[in-house]
Structure 1
Amino acid sequence: MRLFSGFLAGSLLLLISAGVGCTGKYASDFSVLVLNRVANQIEASLNGQVLGRVDAGKSATFTVTLAESNANIFSNGVAPTPQANVTLTAKDTRTGA
């Protein structure tokens, strides 16, 4: 009986720990690959912030950390779907186009 109550208490603790881990802030790191096929160097920007520059004929990888744009909580019995809206732009550094 004592073993069973210890097992039950341990199981309950595990379930509570798992439940607590399912809520709170959500953030993810994404890798963005930028391939430059134009004759000039380009500047890559994400949401208006410069990620970096990529020389002509080269590629570069940048890591982007995105914060949550919706709450990480259950709603009407449906698990949350993390979402993020981004705008990725590239600008020719020589011509400004």
Structure 2
Amino acid sequence: MAESLLAKLGDLNFTAEEQDAVVVAPESVAIPAEDFACSLVGRVLSSSPLDGGRVARLFRTIWKDDKVQTITEINPNFFLIAFASSSSRDNVLK
């Protein structure tokens, strides 16, 4: 199953807007600036806004609670995920 998901992800094409960098000012979120080193910004591609709380619970279930410190919705369908360590963040990226 993981291989088929990775194959599908490899076929994704993003619009120019979706490829733009997302800039998050440290003062706009409720985590210390030093925690940004262990953080990721993710976007859920959807045509309608999603319930941020439900998305956060889903991420926590997939990535295990002990790896995730906070999940903050910074814009509709954009999330700042702060991990317990940079190795936890790197494991999620892999």
What TM bracket, shorter-length normalisation?
under 0.3
Higher helix fraction (1 or 2): 2
- TM-score by structure 1 length? 0.26
Higher share in strand: 1
